[in-house]
Structures are given as structure tokens and as C-alpha cells.
Amino acid sequence: MVHNSSDNRDDRARKSPQAAANDAPPEGLAAPDLDPATAGDDEDDSLLPDILEESGTVGEGPLASGHEAIERAVRLAPTSPGVYRMLNANADVLYVGKAKNVKKRLSSYARQSAPLPARILRMIAATVSVEIVSTTTETEALLLEANLIKQLRPRFNVQLRDDKSFPYILITGDHWAPQILKHRGAQTRPGRYFGPFASAGAVNRTITALQRAFLIRSCTDSFFESRTRPCLLHQIRRCAGPCTREIDFGGYSTLVREASDFLSGKSHAVKQELAGEMEKAAGELEFERAALYRDRLAALSAIQSQQGINPRTVEEADVFAIHQEGGFSCVEVFFFRTGQNWGNRAYFPRAEKTFTPEEVLGSFLAQFYDDKPPPRNILLSHKIEESELLANALSIKAGHKVEVTAPKRGEKKELVIHALTNAREALGRKLADTATQSRLLEAMAATLSLPHPPKRIEVYDNSHIQGTNAVGAMVVAGPDGFVKNQYRKFNIKSEGLTPGDDYAMMREVLERRFKRLINPPEEGVAKGKDDDFPQWPDLVIIDGGRGQLNAVREIFANLGLTQVSLMSVAKGPDRDAGRETLFMPEREAIKLEPRDPVLYFIQRLRDEAHRFVIGSHRKLRKKDIREAGLQEIPGIGPSRKRALLHHFGTLKEIERASIADLGKVPGVSAESARRIFEYFHPQPG
């Protein structure tokens, strides 16, 4: 964090640098809200005169009470490093800060004559008590502060959002035939971990290519031990088949070593070795073996082509670049390991619009590495004032030296510029989407006569095939667009459910969803993935006509729900988009013009729910398909199965194929191609 050294901007002209550093209160205070509709307003500052007026001249009012609470804490505060928490009347944590000298830091809040920024005065006015935790060093205080901010989400701190853990590739080390797999979370299993990767998709693509290149198994140990003959992956040259000793221990160990070397940055040496083996096999007229090496080389080239920019001199680094515009901040992060680019991700931390880029970035970094191993180099677009303290803290945590720098020249500077360009573009897209979304929500409120623009919209849909693999889904949208970490799927559990009974399915989904809201989890149980986002919807949308609407109204009445607006969307004739009918309780049916932006918006909401529920449904079906295989398709026997697998390589590729592509397989007629396609792409109910 930057609180101890960068929070003295307002007093620098009046104090010596040393006094300012010791006495100034933190500037690392965030606004209570960064709603897109109010991000550019000074609404909170407008309350300041009221706070000061209530305080009066006799030491009364919320601001005076806050000063008194802090003064009580100062009398008992230590002069050593530590972390302090400011709490309001409900015992909610308002702010978490750290200091090299806690007593001096709290004293700077308590002095009523000291000029303080408006946001700090708002925080003091809300404070009724202060809790303090002493630490041995300032470095320890920095790490504890970051942990508490992520855990408690104080309203006045800069907050890192969407801090989902990153995926890694793991080559296991607890079996004689190592397995390659995607891994998240604590790295407790023996083996070698490679990453982090920016997304699960990047990991999955890389693992698939590595299987083609190095033939390492991806099956579980239990599956491995139960094999009596090679599986399909061996037949299509995706695995060397160590389970049935198709390859000996020495040969398999060589493949594992080559894969580890490639992921460790020795890709050039590995490719040279494979190219040499390919030429040798061709010279000995062993063309089938030469083709195998050719395919492995192609797989490695595919991995590197997907990685985009790769540095020449930077072996291991994370690159952070921040761009600010329109009251928002975007931090773009690039991951480089073993000289390879493992992807990038954009973050939009919650921060007051008056923060400088250095302040946001400094606060962001400590929280970012709270649960992630830092690399040896951290490259920044802006120099933060506590870079040395942060580097020391991360070095202790990582067990190796970590350098935090803002490069001025060379390839490192080029990487930072590249990240800064991505941050600028990502924030531009975010601002454009946010502005459009806010206008759409206002227009929707006017069109549907809602009391105010909805902050949370929930859309529900069901999917099944003749009652099998029944699943319900909820998607969520708000002022920032779709909120994907709030999506939920519901595997239908009701026993005795009549196949195709959509009303009963919807009843189960809505009861499970809203009973949890009506009876929230016990204290200590997570209540949501983002506490800043409303948990109760303003508007619920379902797919269907007046019948579905009345059924849901009955469900809501039984649950005692009266504060949630409800709407159903009926498809137009022949399911044409643009001819939908909207139904709301106690109102006539609503027909909007085909090009009405609100209608487009509602269509997007409905289509997203449909996409999500279909995806959830297909995941359930895939388990059945994998277990049953192609033999479950009428008219597809062993010969056609082999022909399909030889042509497409994997069951996944067969599933993706179009009817025309399926018809090109030798022995597969047009009718068979249609049956195969419909098996993988049925029309759900």
C-alpha cells in the first residue's frame, strides 16, 4: 500500500517532508460507490458542509464524535508498526490502514485543526471505534493490511475486484507415469507447476497441444490403474499409452523431460531435438515415425503462435500498467514465465476518482499478491512510492529476491508500453459499455414503468430433452453489463418430476433461489461473490407467455415476495426476433417496435440466459456421451466410429463438426451425418 508515504499531498506545502511523512493521514481512501451513473459526481463531497455544520463549534455532531473515538484509540495505541481498522456503529469495517508508528498515524486523524481531504472527514464522521493489531515489522503490517482489505472489503479502501485464482499447468511428481493437468489453488501436490496463465481457456489449449507434442497422459491415476488395453487417446496419438506399457519407463520419462523443458523456456532446444529426430527417421525411410515427429513439431509451433508477444531478454516478470479515464481505473496485467507470454487480464479496481495512478497501483499490487506467488521481476507503468517496502515484503513471502521497478528504456519498457496500450483499450471498451448500459436501464425503466432503473436484473431459463438432464439457470445483469460471477445453474432435483414439466422446473429453481435470500446463510458463511453488488433483484425476467408469468406470480405470492418486479418474454410468431410480446402483472401485453433499443436489450438478456442454460445442459449430457461413446448413435457401428475418429481425431472435434464436414468422412452417408449432428446438437425443451 501507499498510505504511509503518499498520503501527505495536501500538507506538503506546510510541513517538512519528515513531519508530513509521520503525521499525514492516508490518501488511500476509496469512494463508497463507483456506480457508473454517479462516477463523475461529487455527491459525497456535497454532504461535507452538513457534517461540519452538525459538528458545530461546541464539539458536537458526527465529525466530533469520530474525533473522540479516534482520540480514545490514540491513548492506547502502540508506537510500533501495526494495522488499524476503523468501524462504524454497526461494527462494519470502514477502513483498514497500516503504519510504521500506529500512534502517530492515528494522532493525525484526531487533530481537528489539521486540514484533511473530504473523503477522510467522511470516514472520521462515520467512525465509532478503532481496532489495532500490532506487528513486528512494517513489512508484516503491509501483508496483513492487504489480506484484511481483501477479506473485509472496507468501503473507504481501494479494492481489487475479480481476484479469482489463476490456473497453472501441473506435471505431477507422485506417480511413475506423470500426468499433465490444469490446476488451481494451493500448490500442495508434488510435481512441477507452470504458469500462471491468464485464463482456463489458455491452459486447456496449451495442454491439448502438449498432449499432441509429447504424448503425456491426462487421465486420473484411478483410470490409469484400471486399464487393460490402450484408451482412445492412444489410438489417436494423444498419449503414449504408459498404462498398458505401450512405452517403457525410460521412453516415457524422456517425453516428460521434453515437456518440462519446453514449459521451462527451453523450447528452441526441444524443437531442434525433434527436428533432428524427424530428419533421422526420414533418412532411414521410416516415414510413419517421421510424420509423428512432424506432428509434434507442429503442435509446439501452435502453442507459441497463440502466445503473441514473447520477450527476448525477460525471463520471468509480471507487467502492470494502469490507465485512468472518466473516474475509472484499469490495471492490465501480463504474465511472462520462462521467456514466454502466458496471457493477460484487465482489472477495474474500485477506487476514488481523485486517486493518482501511483496510489491505485500501489494498493492494487499488495492485494494482488496476497494469494499468488510473485515472480522475480514486477514491471510497472508508474513508480509507486513504497516500491522498496513492497519488494521486501514480496521477497520474504516468495523466498527469493523480488524487484519492483518502473523501467525507463529497453525491452522491459517496451513490454510496459504494450501493457499500457491494452489498459487504455480495455478501459475505453468498459466506459463505452457502461455508458450504453446506463442509458438502456433508464429507458427500460421508463418503458416498463419501473420505479427506478434496475441495478440488478435476473433472467431465468430451463433446458432438458424429454425431461432428461434437466437444468435451470440464472443470469444477472446490472449497470456494468452482465455480471458473470453472479450466474447460477440449478440441477433439477425434484423426484417424480413429469418429463417436460417446465412449470415444476421453474418452481424448483425460483424457490431454491429466493428461499436463500429470504433466509440468508448463517454468520461466517459467504453471502455473495461481490458484496458491492445488490443480492436482491429489482426485476426478474422469465422466458414464456402469460401462463408462465401467472405461475411465477403464484410462486412469488407463496414466498411472500412483493418488492420484485416481474416480466415474461414470449417469442414472436415462428420464434422471430423483434416480434416478442412482453407481459407484466396487472397490465396489458406490451409490444415494442422491432428496432426499439429496449427490445434489443431484452433480447440480449434472454439470449444470454438461453446460451448459459444450454451450455450447462450440454455439460451434463457430455458426461453421458463420454460414457456411452458413439455406439449410442443409431446406425453408427465400429467401422464408422473408427473412420470418424481417424478423420477428426477426438470426440470433441466430432461434436463440433457441421453436417457437411461429417458427410466428408469415408463411409458416412448424408443421413448418417444428419443423425450424428442431431445427436450432439438436439433441440432442448
Give pLDDT tens digits for 592-607. 887 788 888 888 888 8
Query: What whole-number percentage of the chain has pLDDT above 90?
Result: 10
pLDDT at 433 over 70: yes
Distance CA 480, CA 530 (A): 13
Give residue 11's pLDDT band: very low, low, confident or very high (50, 70, 90).
very low
Query: Whole-angstrom Cα distance, residue 185 to residue 309?
Result: 27
What span, in angstroms and rounded, lies between the C-alpha atoms of 10 and 7?
Answer: 8
Sort 14 into a burial class: Cβ within 10 Å, 0-12 / 13-18 / 19+: exposed
Please state which CATH number belongs to domain 457-620.
3.30.420.340
The listed range with the strongest mean pLDDT (195-209, 284-298, 460-474, 611-625) is 195-209
* Residues 131, 120: Cα–Cα separation, whole Å: 17
Q: How many CA atoms lie within 13 A of 225 on its CB side?
A: 5
Give the tens place of pLDDT for each residue, 559-581: 888 888 999 998 766 555 567 88
Quote the pLDDT of residue 185.
Answer: 79
Residue 393 φ then ψ, to 5°: -65, -45
CATH topology (fold) of 629-680: DNA polymerase; domain 1 (1.10.150)
Sequential DSSP letters for 628-657:
H-GGGSTT--HHHHHHHHHHHSSHHHHHH-
Q: What confidence tier does 453 reach under pLDDT thresholds 50, 70, 90?
A: very high
Lowest mean pLDDT among 104-113, 145-154, 296-305, 404-413: 296-305
Please give the pLDDT value at position 620: 62
- The confidence score (pLDDT) of residue 22 equals 38
pTM of the model: 0.58
* CA 75 to chain CA centroid, nearest Å: 43
At 143 the pLDDT is 83
pLDDT tens-digit profile of 514-535?
888 887 655 444 444 445 678 8
Topology at the third CATH level for domain 317-429: Nucleotidyltransferase; domain 5 (3.30.420)
Q: Would you identify the CATH topology of the domain 3-152?
A: GIY-YIG endonuclease (3.40.1440)
Do the domains 457-620 and 317-429 match in fold? Answer: yes
Of 106 and 116, the one with more pLDDT: 106
What residue ranges in 39-183 does DSSP mark as E strands?
Answer: 82-87, 93-99, 129-134, 168-172, 180-183
pLDDT at 463: 74
pLDDT at position 316: 83
Q: What is the mean pLDDT of residues 144-161?
A: 81
Mean predicted confidence (pLDDT) in 283-293? 75
Q: How far apart are CA 667 and CA 647, in angstroms?
A: 11
> Which is more confident, 542 or 32?
542
Alpha-carbon distance values, 600 to 572, 578, 597 (Å): 14, 8, 5
* Cis peptide bond upstream of 196, omega within 30: yes
Q: Which residue has the cell 410480446?
A: 581
pLDDT attached to residue 151: 80
Considering only residues 178 and 463, tell me which one the structure prediction assigns the higher pLDDT: 178
User: What's the pLDDT band for 617 if we cut at 50, 70, 90?
Assistant: low
Does the pLDDT of residue 288 top 90, yes or no?
Answer: no
Judged against a pLDDT cut of 80, whether residue 475 lies above it is answered with yes
Domain ranges of the chain: 3-152, 168-306, 317-429, 457-620, 629-680
Interval 357-405: pLDDT, tens = 998 898 888 888 887 788 889 999 999 888 888 898 889 888 888 999 9
Instruction: Give yes or no for residue 35 having a pLDDT over 50.
Output: no
